[in-house]
Amino acid sequence: MFKAILIEKDDAGYRAGLTELNDSQLPDGEVTVRVEYSTLNYKDALAITGKGPVVRRFPMVPGVDLAGTVESSDSDRYQAGDRVLLNGWGVGEGHWGGLAQKARLKADWLIPLPETFSAKQAMAIGTAGYTAMLSVMALEQHGLTPASGPVLVTGANGGVGSFSIALLAALGYTVMASTGRPEEADYLKRLGAAEILDRAELVEKGKPLAKERWAGAIDSAGSHTLANVCAGTRYGGVVAACGLAQGMDFPSTVAPFILRGVTLAGIDSVMRPREDRLAAWQRLADVLDTGMLDEIAHEVGLEEAIDTATRLIEGSVQGRTVVDVNR
């Protein structure tokens, strides 16, 4: 038996609760992992609270991230005792995920846990840090350098935003951080932000083109925020779009793209090929100061994750939430 958060939907309604499950209930997969840590991402919070149509089948164990030790394997790629991690692949949506003490998964979904990180540190990074690094790599691939000019990060107090600031600052970029919580400016400056912008500047409908203010940006909001970010990007700049916290719509025009040559780079972290995942995690190991993780992440137990999910949806959770599934 093992503990897990289980989401159910039936005639009694939609609900998530902590329960005990039997190993025989685990889904199909080549590798069984004894989970040590998971995380609580925005997508997980949507799934647990039912605030978004994330879960595609029921019952479902949420959790798009996990790190732990292989318990058994039918794959040549992994053996019992191997340390592994997982991000995405629809886990926690269509296949039981990481907010449990055990998970059974396809071998292709797993990658080795970098020796640089413990399981807890890897989950403090999680999908948020991995997505932030994919975004930074996209900026670099499109020619952005610290000499190009400042880089704007929206949703700065969230997980992706926090890691984006820390990574960009570590690489020598000047970072502008947009937040709806200006009272937490000191936190953002400790991560490496040089300038704080009030989110109110970006969330309403703006002009097709605005003053050129940043050479690049990482946006996790979408909607009017992303449109305004593009409108304020300098000639030849690049914007990495990796989230939809404000909305899925994109009420923009082609003006930034055909008059200023702005590039809009889409960042998918869920179905990313294995090679890209390995590259991103290696860059994280090379660049990230693990001492920053205590600043960015806080820990909760498995049962606490349910209440924390509600607060995350409300926007009152700072940084990353690491879930110790064994307490």
Least confident range of 24-33, 132-141, 156-165, 212-221? 156-165
- Condensed to tens digits (0 to 9), the pLDDT of residues 246-299 reads 999 999 999 999 999 999 999 999 999 999 999 999 999 999 999 889 888 999
pLDDT at residue 207 tops 90: yes
Q: What percent of the chain has pLDDT over 70?
A: 100
Give span(s): CATH 3.90.180.10, the chain.
Answer: 2-113+291-324
Please answer whether residues 16 and 313 qualify as being in contact, where contact means their C-beta atoms are separated by less than 8 angstroms.
Answer: no
d(CA 173, CA 148): 9
Checking if the pLDDT of 301 tops 90, the result is yes
Residue ranges of alpha helices (H) inside 192-299 are: 223-231, 255-259, 274-287, 293-296
pLDDT per residue as tens digits for the range 91-122: 999 999 999 999 999 999 999 999 999 999 99
Which overall architecture, per CATH, does domain 2-113+291-324 show?
Alpha-Beta Complex (3.90)
In the chain, residues under CATH classification 3.40.50.720 are 127-266
Note the pLDDT tens digit of each residue in 13-40. Answer: 999 999 999 999 999 999 999 999 999 9
Pairwise CA distance, residues 161 & 180, whole Å:
12
Q: Is 245 helix (H, G, I), strand (E, B) or coil?
A: coil
Q: Say which DSSP state 133 is in.
A: H
How does the average pLDDT of the chain come out, rounded?
96
**pLDDT exceeds 90 at position 230:** yes
The pLDDT of residue 183 is 87
pLDDT > 90 in the chain, percent = 92
Q: Which fold has domain 127-266?
A: Rossmann fold (3.40.50)
Q: Give the CA distances from residue 103 to residues 33, 45, 72, 73, 217, in Å, rounded to whole numbers and listed in that order.
A: 5, 19, 11, 12, 36
CA distance 274 to 290: 23
Asked if residue 181 has pLDDT above 90, the reply is no
- What b-and-e string marks burial along 89-121, b requiring 16 or more CB atoms within 10 Å of the CB? bebbbebbbbbbbbbbbbbebbbebbeebbbbb
What distance in Å separates the CA atoms of residue 78 and residue 107, rounded to the nearest whole number? Answer: 8
Q: Given this model, what pLDDT does residue 214 score?
A: 98
